[in-house]
Amino acid sequence: MIRFHNTLGGEVEDFVPIEPGQVKLYTCGPTVYDFPHIGNWRAYIFEDLLKRFLAFRGYKINHVMNITDVDDKTIRGAQARGVGLDEYTRPFIEAFGRDRDTLNILPADHYPRATAHIPEMVELVKTLLEKGFAYRRDGSIYFAIDRFPAYGRLSKINLEDLRPGSRGDADEYEKESVHDFALWKAPKEGEPFWETVIGPGRPGWHIECSAMSVKYLGKTFDLHCGGVDNIFPHHENEIAQSEAANGVKFVNTWLHCHHLVVDGEKMSKSKGNFYRLADVLAKGYDPLDVRYLLLSTHYRKMLNFTFEALDQARTARQRIGDFLGALKDVSGTATDGAPIDPLIEAARDGFVAGLDDDLNIAEALAAVFTLIKNVNPLLARGEVSKEEAAKVAAFFAEIDTVLAIKPSPTIAGSGKIAKGGYAASGTASVSGGGGISATGEALIADRQKARAAKDFATADAIRRELLAMGIVLEDAKDGVRWKKVGPPKG
RNA sequence: GGCGCGGUACCCAAGCGGCUAAGGGAGAGGUCUGCAAAACCUCUAUCCGUCGGUUCGAGUCCGACCCGCGCCUCCA
In this complex, the nucleotide whose C1' atom is nearest to the CA atom of residue A320 is B24
Q: Give me the CA A93–C1' B45 separation in Å, rounded.
A: 48
Q: Which of A245, A219, A251 is nearest to A154 (CA)?
A: A251
Alpha-carbon gap, residue A149 to A188, rounded angstroms: 32
Q: Give me the CA A27–C1' B4 separation in Å, rounded.
A: 21
> Residue A21 pLDDT more than 80?
yes
Q: Give me the CA A71–C1' B20 separation in Å, rounded.
A: 59
Q: Give me the CA A286–C1' B22 separation in Å, rounded.
A: 28
Alpha-carbon gap, residue A238 to A231, rounded angstroms: 10
Q: Give me the CA A370–C1' B56 separation in Å, rounded.
A: 35
In this complex, the nucleotide whose C1' atom is nearest to the CA atom of residue A311 is B25
Could you say which nucleotides of strand B lie within 7 A of any protein CB atom? 1-6, 11-15, 22-26, 33-41, 68-76
Residue nearest to nucleotide B41 (CA to C1'): A377
Q: Give me the CA A301–C1' B4 separation in Å, rounded.
A: 12
* The 3-state secondary structure of A410-434, one letter per residue: HHHCCCCCCCCEEEECCCCCEECCC
Q: How confident is the model at residue A433 (pLDDT cuts 50, 70, 90)?
A: very low
> Residue A470 pLDDT more than 80?
no
Within a 13 Å sphere around the CA of A115, how many CA atoms are in the beta-carbon half?
Answer: 16
Rg (CA), chain A: 27
Give the CA distances from residue A97 to residues A30, A164, A226, A307, A369, in Å, rounded to whole numbers and listed in that order: 11, 38, 18, 25, 32
Alpha-carbon gap, residue A469 to A443, rounded angstroms: 11
> Residue A11 pLDDT more than 90?
no
> Residue A411 pLDDT more than 50?
no
Confidence at residue A489, expressed as pLDDT on a 0 to 100 scale: 54
* Three-class secondary structure of residue A221 per DSSP: strand
> Residue A425 pLDDT more than 60?
no
In this complex, the nucleotide whose C1' atom is nearest to the CA atom of residue A315 is B25
Q: What is the pTM of this model?
A: 0.91
Q: What is the DSSP string of A389-402?
A: HHHHHHHHHHHHHH
* Three-class secondary structure of residue A379 per DSSP: helix
Confidence at residue A486, expressed as pLDDT on a 0 to 100 scale: 65
Residue nearest to nucleotide B12 (CA to C1'): A309
Given 3-state DSSP classes, what are the helix, strand and coil percentages for chain A, each rounded to the nearest 5?
Answer: 45, 15, 40
In this complex, the nucleotide whose C1' atom is nearest to the CA atom of residue A46 is B76
In this complex, the nucleotide whose C1' atom is nearest to the CA atom of residue A265 is B69
Residue nearest to nucleotide B71 (CA to C1'): A229
Residue A142 bridge partners (DSSP) = A135, A182
Percentage of the residues of chain A whose pLDDT score is greater than 70: 88
Q: Give me the CA A370–C1' B12 separation in Å, rounded.
A: 17
Residue nearest to nucleotide B22 (CA to C1'): A366
Q: Give me the CA A347–C1' B60 separation in Å, rounded.
A: 25
* Three-class secondary structure of residue A135 per DSSP: strand
Lowest-pLDDT choice from A129-133, A160-164, A403-407: A160-164
In this complex, the nucleotide whose C1' atom is nearest to the CA atom of residue A477 is B33
Neighbours of A344 (CB within 10 A): 20
Can you say whether residue A382 is alpha, beta or left, with left for phi > 0 and alpha for psi between -120 and 50 degrees?
A: left
